[in-house]
Each structure stands twice: as structure tokens, then as C-alpha cells.
Amino acid sequence: MTASDNAAADAVRERVRAFLHDVLREEIGDDVDLFSTGLADSLLAMRLVTFVETAFGLTVEAEDLDPAHFRSINAVTDFVHRKHAGAPGEAR
């Protein structure tokens, strides 16, 4: 990633952090698994999709609904980066 890419990723990560902090009302580590820890439920799953679409101007397609893309702050950040780059939303 270039320095510009890194800065963009940091900006995305900060917005995702802020959204989840607002919803969950607490600080969460960037790699904490939202689903396996029970932090996220089905309501949050759909809200997270809507947030990602509206905040970052992209469309989440059915093939993007891999839980790995939404399981943590860093996973969402990477997903947004790949979508903006036009690459498939394949999980790491």
C-alpha cells in the first residue's frame, strides 16, 4: 500500500471505529471479532451493511456477505479498501 493508501485506510478505520463506538458505547480493539464475542447481533449486521454503503459510497452485493468481511474494524476497513479498488471483496 502507498502512503496515500495508508492514510485513506486510517480514515476509513476511524469512521468504522466511531460508528461501532456509537452503537456499542465502548472502545473495541481493531481486531476484536464482533460476532464470536457476541457484540454484534443480526440487527447490527444489517446496520453495518447500511453504514458501509452510505458512509463510503459503495454497494454491498450478495457475494460480499462473507462474515469475514464484517467481523472486525480491520476487516471492514480492508473490505472497503478492496471495494474502492474495484477488487472482489475476498476475505483475507
Give me the residues that bind other proteins (CB under 8 A), please: 19, 22-29, 32-33, 36-39, 42-43, 45-51, 53-54, 62-63, 65-67
1: DSSP letter: -
HSE of 48 in the Cβ direction (CA atoms, 13 Å)? 29
Q: How far is the CB of 43 from other proteins (least distance, A)?
A: 6
Q: How far is the CB of 4 from other proteins (least distance, A)?
A: 28
Q: What is the maximum alpha-carbon separation in the chain?
A: 36
CA distances from 75 to 10, 57, 81 (A): 13, 17, 10
C-alpha 68/C-alpha 33 separation (Å) is: 9
CB of 10 or CB of 66, closer to other proteins: 66
CB of 29 or CB of 88, closer to other proteins: 29
CB of 7 or CB of 24, closer to other proteins: 24
CB of 7 or CB of 65, closer to other proteins: 65
